[in-house]
Structure 1
Amino acid sequence: MTVLNQLASALKRRDELPNQELALRIIENNDHQAIEELVTKLSNKNKDVQSDCIKVLYEIGEHKAELISAYAAEFIQLLDSKSNRMQWGAMTALAAIVPTNAELIYVSLPRLIEVADAGSVITKDHLVNILIKLCSIRENEDDAFSLLMEQLLKSHANQLPMYAERAIPVINSTNKKLFIEVLSHRINDFDIESKRKRVEKIIRKFS
């Protein structure tokens, strides 16, 4: 049985469980051949196959990033897809492999930001995840933090508390002043009281 025959669409399933189970089998067997096959089918004419393949690949990445790290360029190219599902799926995969292929992802940030700015909320969520992970890498932390603050300044108010909370692990004595300034600048943007309180709590934590 080829890897394609194990995808949810091939099994006539509408849930993601077959894809998740396939990802775990590939990880367990370090099955590089299966991964290569999945990558080559990202451009398949069948949209369901495309969707299943990117799902399996980013599930692999979230558990064992090094298995898909070599395909960062393919994921970046996939950001040009007209399919929203493939765009945010590619961004999810890239977020997973930041620790193992930070250099290529870092130099590709202008393209990633361009795609996220025009893309869905999920695409933006994973760009923020990428920037936060890059902030943890000394060579990239200053630029990545500046770009992260730009995202916080222009993000939708509904997303801002989550982004700010996710950023907490990379806040330190050097950057906390700017972090507080950015959050304070946005504090009156919330229509929902609970979201404003979440941001106020973060501001107090670092003040």
Structure 2
Amino acid sequence: MSLYAIGDLHLSFSTEKPMDIFGKNWIDHHIKIEESWRSKITNEDTVLIPGDISWAMSLEDAKIDLEWIDKLPGKKILLRGNHDYWWTSLKKMNGLFESMVFVQNNHVEYEDYAICGTRGWLCPNDNKFTDHDQKIYDRELHRLKLSLDSTKRDKIIVMTHYPPTNDKLQDSGFTKIYEEYNVEKVIYGHLHGRHSYNTGLKGNYNNVEYVLTSCDYLDFNPVKIL
């Protein structure tokens, strides 16, 4: 059994939403994801998907995208991204597919790990950070603690959609919480295009490993986490 991750699938089987504004490598990107996924992931494995799963605006419209994910091998643990407007109650979503479970103010167990997380938000920065951003940022910090407090396991992996810092890679409320709770790994996405990859924290920082998993950064190939 292995744990993999790939974020920002940006599926759009029910709506026309091309992603090639971020580069030609996004053309037919779902085919690349499926080929890579099936080449390495088995039904015994688990895949983390940290947000921006579907462009659909309602759960009904998102079902075709979720069905596509469901048919891929392995168990999937999903988190909400900033474009997942179709996201609804955990009870409703968790009742859809046996292979899929959703994280929101809770945790999911994987072997001896707890998979926790929240969407996250923009971190305070010099470019644009409004009072409205501050409110959402504070709310997401609270939701992160709710998720972490829901488990008593010592080994913790966090999924978040947004990067854990600003573009200058400065400490944030998120990084401080990760260090306080002795989080082992943080899996995140959101960043697209070569110009953005260096604005996300990667590698070991204060004993926490940060892994960027937006699918274009991974060349649409799920990365092994454990």
Q: Which TM-score bucket, shorter chain as reference?
A: 0.3 to 0.5
TM-score by length of 1: 0.33
Q: Which structure dedicates a bigger proportion of its chain to strand? A: 2
Considering fraction of residues, name the structure with more helix. 1
Of structures 1 and 2, the one scoring higher in RCO (CA 8 A, sep 6+) is 2
